[in-house]
Structures are given as C-alpha cells and as structure tokens.
C-alpha cells in the first residue's frame, strides 16, 4: 500500500501537524525519506534516540528477546524486567523501580505515589503538589495539570485540584507557596519543553532543603534529561541533589517505548498490591532493550563523550551566531542544547526548523523562541560538522531576508 503525507490528513486524528516528508530508514545519525533524500538527525526523536537509529546492539537485543517471550501480565514477573531494575537500582539513589510505557505514565505514577505516601504518613489533608511554570510532565490529565503550560491543559473541563505553580528558579516564590500541606514538589533539573532553562546556581539544592523542611517529597522529572543526556547518567548527579522519586523514559528505550519510576524502599512501600499498575509496564521486549541501552550509555567513555560533543555543538552555534546574529543565548547541558532567538527573530523558531529541514538537518523547537538540539549521544563528530554546515545554510536562508528587510 502506498502512503503519503496526504494520507495522514485522511486517516489520522489532527492533533499533530507532521512535516511534508516521511522518513523510512535510519542508520546512526542519518535518516532517509521516501524519495531517498538524506538528513542529519539532530532531533533524536525528541531526545529519545540516544544511540541513533538501528544501533546494532539494541537491534540484536530486541531480536533475541522477540524469539523468547513478548508479554506477560503482572501476575508474573520476567527476567529482563528484573535485570533492568537491578541495574537501575545499582546505578542510582533508588531502591525500587516501577515500569511503565512512557514518561507521562512514569510521572503519573510518581505523583500518585507522592499523594499516597503523604496520606499514609500525615493524613489526607497533606495533598498539595507544587510544580513550576513552563514545565512539561506529560499528557495524562493529572500530568498535564501539573505541567506549567496552560495551553496544554485548557479546554478539557475541570482539572485535578491541589496543584499550584511558581516560577522556575524562584526560591522565594516556592518558599511562600509551601506549607505543612505540601506533599511534593516536582521539577525538571533542566527544563526542556519550556525552553531549555538551566537551574540557577543553588536553586535545586534550595528546593531540596525546602522539601526537607516541610516533610515534602522531591520529584525529579528526568524523562528528557535522563540516561546520559546531560553527560551524567541522570542530571541529579551533576546537580549534586538527590530526589526522593525520579521519572525516566525517552532515552531509556532508545526508541522502544518504556518508562520507569525510581524511588526509595521506604516511599515505595505506599504502593501496596493493587494500588497502581500498568498492563504493559515491565514488558520483556522493552526491558531487554532498556538493559542494553543502559549498559551502552552508562560508561565513562560515552558520558564524557556527551560533554565533549556538547561543547562542539556550542562552539559551532556560537560561530554561526557571530555571522548571522540570530541567537541571544546558547544554553543547556551536554547534548540537550537550546539556541534562544534574538528579539528580531522572536516567535520564528519553526521557520528555522523548516529551513534546516530543507537544508538536510532535523532540529527541534522548545516553544516559539528556542531551537532545540537533542541528537544521538554517540553521534560521530563528522555528522555534527556536516549537520551544522547544513543547519548554517538554513539559518542563512531565514536571516538573509530579515537582514535585507531591515
């Protein structure tokens, strides 16, 4: 059956507006579309394809598991899930793991656990969850309410209560909002969808201290920052601040759907048998992939390489900006990088994305004013250089008409 971009408009719910091209094959950091045109992938499936496309070790793990066991209900456990959970526990602060299928589900579990823990230890009145403006935590009704971007939550009727928002990097505002009623604070250690916003020095440590003061749990949403993206296995390590609950997804499966919630044994105890679940959570296929991904990423060579590649991206972006003056700031950590647009180009991030695609490079946006880069963590330097050469051509295509008009 031949399908095209027009087929999307004929058969799919219109909640997405995909590009005109349809990628059909990927290898490493390169993709090819239906017409055979090649692209350098700096988008990484929105920070998902941490090992590029079709990494041979990950493909082998999936094929091997596919010949053994695909699915069991959670009436039973399975070996891949237990192996992956053991490796996550050994590599992090956590004692216990809950598997889900996505970042939204991992965050849903984290938020429900925080509420349940508070009820168990302090009573039902301790129900306030505080999150940050411009945050993104998923698309379930609970997580979209906790997320700090109203546009994603409006128009669906009454939202879950007990959720408040304060500005990111504003400890005074957080302190004013907290009380004995606060059961949890949820934060991205580096805001992603909100514009690649770095935490201010001391901010995350201050959040930790306020949580301790009010007997509240600290939840880190590491769906986007986790599994090597910042040059640490999880970003909390680089920040020197340990959460009580952590959510992980995206890169954990390198493109195969999986999510995980990590926490301590004491907190996990509030999820007694039957209080929460997931039909596909802990799926053997997903966990076999996740174990291989973790083995490949969690090495000094790869994590140090992420930092070095990030510096290469930054240096090239600075050189592009020296010529075209389109960015006001380059920010982020490791290989989660945001190029914030200068005021003259406000609101035009998608124009740069489209021009880059025309030039043969895939990038992302993080709002209307930030171009986002989240490539493979093992992208070859030659692909960085070639992709940036094409990206620079896209920047020039947008910048030249603007310069002429001025």
- Please identify which of the residues 250, 271, 373, 383 carries the catalytic annotation: 250
Per cent of the chain over pLDDT 70 is: 99
- Using DSSP's 3-state secondary structure scheme, residue 78 falls into coil
The band of 151, judged by pLDDT with boundaries at 50, 70 and 90, is confident
Q: How far is CA 25 from the centre of its chain?
A: 23
Whole-angstrom Cα distance, residue 175 to residue 173? 5
- Binding site members: 136, 139, 221-224, 278-279
- Please identify which of the residues 98, 99, 142, 221 carries the catalytic annotation: 221
So what's the pLDDT on residue 405? 62
The band of 154, judged by pLDDT with boundaries at 50, 70 and 90, is confident
The band of 149, judged by pLDDT with boundaries at 50, 70 and 90, is confident
Residue 107 tokens read as: 């965050």
So what's the pLDDT on residue 156? 87
- Binding site members for pyridoxal 5'-phosphate: 136, 221-224, 279
So what's the pLDDT on residue 402? 63
Active site residue 126: no
Question: Tokens 């941490």 belong to which residue?
Answer: 50
So what's the pLDDT on residue 19? 93
Residue 406 tokens read as: 């001025």
Active site residue 141: no
Instruction: Kindly report, residue by residue over 1-59, the tens digit of the pLDDT.
Output: 999 999 999 999 999 999 999 999 999 999 999 999 999 999 999 999 999 999 999 99
Average pLDDT over residues 236-265: 98
- Binding site members for N(2)-acetyl-L-ornithine: 139, 278
Whole-angstrom Cα distance, residue 395 to residue 165? 36
Q: CA 276, 46, 224, 64: dihedral to nearest 10 degrees?
A: 60
Instruction: Kindly report, residue by residue over 295-341, the tens digit of the pLDDT.
Output: 999 999 999 999 999 999 999 999 999 999 999 999 999 999 999 99
Whole-angstrom Cα distance, residue 116 to residue 369? 38
Instruction: Kindly report, residue by residue over 162-219, the tens digit of the pLDDT.
Output: 999 999 999 999 999 999 999 999 999 999 989 999 999 999 999 999 999 999 999 9
Per the CB < 8 A criterion, the answer to whether 54 and 27 are in contact is yes
Q: In what helix (H) or strand (E) does residue 266 lie, and over which residues does it extend?
A: helix 265-268
Strand order in the sheet with 217-221: 96-100, 259-263, 245-248, 217-221, 182-187, 128-132, 163-166
Domains of the chain, earliest start first: 5-55+302-405 (3.90.1150.10), 57-297 (3.40.640.10)
Residue 199 tokens read as: 């935490």
Average pLDDT over residues 120-130: 97
Which of 221, 241, 242 minimizes the C-alpha distance to 110?
221
How does DSSP assign 318-330, residue by residue?
Answer: HHHHHHH--EEEE
223 pLDDT above the threshold of 70: yes
- Please identify which of the residues 42, 98, 136, 220 carries the catalytic annotation: 136
Q: Which spans in 178-215 are helix H?
A: 203-213
Question: Tokens 């695909």 belong to which residue?
Answer: 70
So what's the pLDDT on residue 153? 84
CB within 8 A of 206, min separation 6: which ones? Answer: 171, 174
- The vertex-293 CA angle with 287 and 299, nearest 5°, equals 135
How does DSSP assign 119-142, residue by residue?
Answer: HHHH-TT--EEEEETT----SSHH
The band of 160, judged by pLDDT with boundaries at 50, 70 and 90, is confident
| Rounded alpha-carbon distances, angstroms, from residue 288 to 69, 77, 189, 263, 294 | 10, 13, 28, 21, 10
- Using DSSP's 3-state secondary structure scheme, residue 307 falls into helix
So what's the pLDDT on residue 392? 97
Average pLDDT over residues 349-373: 97
Q: In what helix (H) or strand (E) does residue 218 lie, and over which residues does it extend?
A: strand 217-221
So what's the pLDDT on residue 281? 95
148 pLDDT above the threshold of 90: no
So what's the pLDDT on residue 159? 87
- Using DSSP's 3-state secondary structure scheme, residue 375 falls into coil
Active site residue 256: no
| Beta bridge mates, 26 | 31
Per the CB < 8 A criterion, the answer to whether 380 and 364 are in contact is no
The band of 406, judged by pLDDT with boundaries at 50, 70 and 90, is low
């Amino acid at each position: 059956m031949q399908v095209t971009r027009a087929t999307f408009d004929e058969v799919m719910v219109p909640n997405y507006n995909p590009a005109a091209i349809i990628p059909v094959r990927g290898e490493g950091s390169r993709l090819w579309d239906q017409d055979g045109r090649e692209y350098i992938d700096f988008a990484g499936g929105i920070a998902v394809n941490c090992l590029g496309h079709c990494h041979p070790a990950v493909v082998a793990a999936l094929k091997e598991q596919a010949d053994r066991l695909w699915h069991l209900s959670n009436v039973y456990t399975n070996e891949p899930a237990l192996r992956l959970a053991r490796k996550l526990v050994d590599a992090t602060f956590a004692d216990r793991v809950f598997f889900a299928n996505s970042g939204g589900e991992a965050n849903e579990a984290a938020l429900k656990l925080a509420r349940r823990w508070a009820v168990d230890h302090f009573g039902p009145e301790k129900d306030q969850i505080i999150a940050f403006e411009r945050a993104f935590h998923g698309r379930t009704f609970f997580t979209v309410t906790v997320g700090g971007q109203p546009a994603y939550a409006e128009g669906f009727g009454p939202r879950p209560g007990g959720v408040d928002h304060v500005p990111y990097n504003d400890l005074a505002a957080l302190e004013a909002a907290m009380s004995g009623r606060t059961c949890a604070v949820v934060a991205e250690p580096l805001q992603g969808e909100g514009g690649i916003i770095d935490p201010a020095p001391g901010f995350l440590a201050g959040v930790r201290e306020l949580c301790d003061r009010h007997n509240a749990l600290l939840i880190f949403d590491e769906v986007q920052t986790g599994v090597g993206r910042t040059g640490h296995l999880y970003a909390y390590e680089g920040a020197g601040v340990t959460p009580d609950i952590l959510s992980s997804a995206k890169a954990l499966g390198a493109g195969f759907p999986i999510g995980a919630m990590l926490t301590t044994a004491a907190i996990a105890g509030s999820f007694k048998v039957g209080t929460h679940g997931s039909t596909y959570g802990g799926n053997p296929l997903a966990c076999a992939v996740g174990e291989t991904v973790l083995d490949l990423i969690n090495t000094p060579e790869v994590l140090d390489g992420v930092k070095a590649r990030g510096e290469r991206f930054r240096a090239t972006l600075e050189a592009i900006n020296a010529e075209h003056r389109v960015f006001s700031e380059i920010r982020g950590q490791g290989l989660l990088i945001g190029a914030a647009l200068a005021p003259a180009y406000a609101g035009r991030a998608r124009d740069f994305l489209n021009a880059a695609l025309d030039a043969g490079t895939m990038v992302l946006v993080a709002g209307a004013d930030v171009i986002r880069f989240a490539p493979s963590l093992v992208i070859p330097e030659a692909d960085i250089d070639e992709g940036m050469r094409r990206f620079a051509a896209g920047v020039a295509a947008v910048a030249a008409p603007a310069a002429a008009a001025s």
